[in-house]
Homo-oligomer: A and B are copies of this chain.
Amino acid sequence: MERVVIFDVLGTLFSLDAVRAKLSDIGAPPATLEAWFERTLHGALTLTTVREFRPFREVARAALQTTLAQFGLEVSRTEDILAGLSEVEAHDDAAPALDRLTEERIRVVALTNSGAQQTEDVLKQANLLERFERVFSVSDVGAYKPDRRPYEHVINELSVAASEATLIAAHAWDVVGARAAGLDSIWVDRLERRWPLPVAEPRRAASLVDAVGMLIG
């Protein structure tokens, strides 16, 4: 059986610590990053629910302005903080995990809720872009994960069956979406630590390398 590995990008391959530092610089309490990011994700999925679409950067910008205003922080710093999304660093084990898949000749792609160009830029910056056969963005289909359309688009474009594809993500909602679309999936637990949804927990791994190890034994 052929196997394709689909990686989520922000939070999974890349740490958001660079953005957290920028928020901290303007006096934001530690949980501000999560408040903003969760609002962004919920806003994006709200648009998909009402069958509208706007680029991730626009959703993130509007959510950030609200989050800053809510905590009495400087809304004028929005663009600077947003730019942090282009300065994120890859987790240390991203390259080794990808290399291991390449060795085994397993196809590797990325599927991001963010924009395709921004994602290719951060992957390039981290010297990871050439490890991916393709980078897919939800903008290809105009619907955010965990809607089933982005996952289906990837497997259709790659001409594989859903069961031949494994999503690796550090976000429960992404894993649940992939599962609902019939894909195999592994949850990397280092970001959320505890399974955050009241539905069955999937296979979990402590790191990207461990997740890849589960696939190739």
Could you tell me which A residues sit within 8 Å of B by CB distance? 28-32, 34-35, 38-39, 41-43, 45-52, 54, 58-59, 61-63, 65-67, 69-71, 75, 146-148, 172-173, 176-177, 179-180, 191-199
Contacts and interface: CB of A to CB of B under 8 A. Distances in A.
A47 B196 contact: no
A194 B49 contact: no
The 7 closest A-B pairs by CB, nearest first: A38-B38, A66-B196, A34-B35, A50-B180, A29-B29, A31-B31, A42-B42
A193 B46 contact: no
Given A42-B42, A51-B180, 8 more contacts: A29-B31, A34-B67, A35-B38, A42-B45, A43-B172, A43-B173, A43-B196, A69-B194
A194 B66 contact: yes
A146 B50 contact: yes
19 contacts: A30-B31, A30-B71, A31-B35, A41-B42, A42-B45, A43-B172, A43-B173, A46-B172, A46-B173, A47-B176, A49-B146, A50-B146, A52-B199, A54-B199, A58-B198, A61-B198, A62-B195, A69-B194, A70-B193
Given A31-B28, A50-B146, A58-B198, A42 B192 contact: no
Nearest to A147: B49
Contacts of A38: 34-35, 38-39, 41-42
Contacts of A61: 198
B59 A198 contact: yes
B66 A192 contact: yes
A54 B39 CA distance: 21
Contacts of A29: 29-31
A171 B54 CA distance: 19
Nearest to A70: B193
Contact of A176 (B30, B50, B75): B50
A50 B147 CA distance: 7
A45 B45 contact: yes
Nearest to A32: B31
